[in-house]
Amino acid sequence: MDDSRILRIDHRTYADESFRIADPQGLVVLANLPEWADLRWHADLGRACGRELKWSKIGRCWRDLSADLRRAVLRCLREALITIVDPSVYRFDLEQTVIAAVGQPRKAWPAKFETWVQEQLVEYEKHRILTDSPILRIDSFLRGDDFWLDDAGDLTRDGDNQTSLLPVLTDSLKAPHTARLFGARSAAAYWQLLDHDTRERALAELWEVRYITPARLAGHVLAIAERAQRVYDEGNQPSVLALADVSTAVRQRLAARELIVLPNDIPPGAVEQSSSVTPALQASDLAAGYARRLYLEQGLKAVCEEFRSVIFNGSMIRDWARVDRPDAAELRVRK
């Protein structure tokens, strides 16, 4: 047996978010710190600012901290992967489409029509969040919606199509804030599917393979992604359980295609932990709070320039100069 294919969970991926259920804009900002992040500053910051480390609290005592401690904190937080789900962008897009279709501004809509549009906005937002997340690519991989190599080495279409994940997830993620959290958490969990550089490296590693189909490439990348256990802050169990189910389905599919070998003691792909006893979660929460403040006050560009990499509504932004969207510099949370 090729030992390199045995799935080993070498480290944990910590993720947390600055999120408020009561926020009418529904903004979710999530941060992942790499497993090698230097957290030696955590104890000093706790002694200076208290045990519960939130960015809103740290900001009030920031100027009282030593310059060395501030540099250490920011040096660490800037290594985070920031994932932003801003549903106001989706709502704005649909509202503009409706306005163009009916030929009347929103303030002129009848009350009954306004209510109907608001109901559609909820479903549209959920649909866009899921389809912009990596779940659509994972769903295609799980359903075998692609060509594959059979035992004879010939190119054939995969035959064991499964039920799509999307209707199941749409039904299980009923609350809008749960869908938003799932969108951010799934993008952070499977960021490799969104990253151009990761796909380029995967293609280089598969160069000797006779046929490289989209499914084969996705399988190679997913085998890398599943080497991490995602640890999220407590507070929204449905999104974590949904991610754990997705991870289980991905691992079983990878094993069926002999891309990985599953050991008997493999831990679940997503779990919850209390941030009060986990320094890495607290540090991620600080990074998310800092990113949220930058996004609200200065926009997406400021977040991209401050952090290692950013995923915005399902799109990876590694280099601000490479952003194709002409109005990206003007992205703000719409009020």
Structural domains in the chain (count): 1
Q: Is residue 274 a part of any domain in this protein?
A: yes
Mean pLDDT, range 29-33, rounded to an integer:
93
Which tokens hold the place of 39? 């957290």
Q: pLDDT band for position 261 (50/70/90)?
A: confident
pLDDT recorded at residue 213: 77
Range of the domain at 132: 3-37+79-330
Q: Is residue 295 a part of any domain in this protein?
A: yes
pLDDT recorded at residue 138: 92
The model's pTM: 0.85
Structural contact between residues 13 and 32, judged by C-beta atoms closer than 8 angstroms: yes
Q: Is residue 65 a part of any domain in this protein?
A: no
Structural contact between residues 82 and 310, judged by C-beta atoms closer than 8 angstroms: yes
Q: Is residue 52 a part of any domain in this protein?
A: no
Which tokens hold the place of 123? 């479903």
Q: Is residue 265 over pLDDT 90?
A: no
Tell me the Cα Rg of the chain. Answer: 21
Q: Is residue 217 a part of any domain in this protein?
A: yes
Cα–Cα separations (whole angstroms), residue 168 to 183, 194, 312 = 15, 23, 24
Mean predicted lDDT score pLDDT of the chain:
84
pLDDT recorded at residue 234: 87
Q: Is residue 44 a part of any domain in this protein?
A: no
pLDDT recorded at residue 153: 55
The SS3 of residue 36 is coil
Q: Is residue 214 a part of any domain in this protein?
A: yes
Q: Is residue 67 a part of any domain in this protein?
A: no
Other C-beta atoms closer than 10 Å to the C-beta of 11 total: 12
Residues in Cβ contact with 171 at an 8 Å cutoff, skipping those fewer than 6 apart: none
Query: pLDDT digits over 285-335, tens only?
Result: 999 999 999 999 999 999 999 998 999 999 998 655 555 444 444 444 333
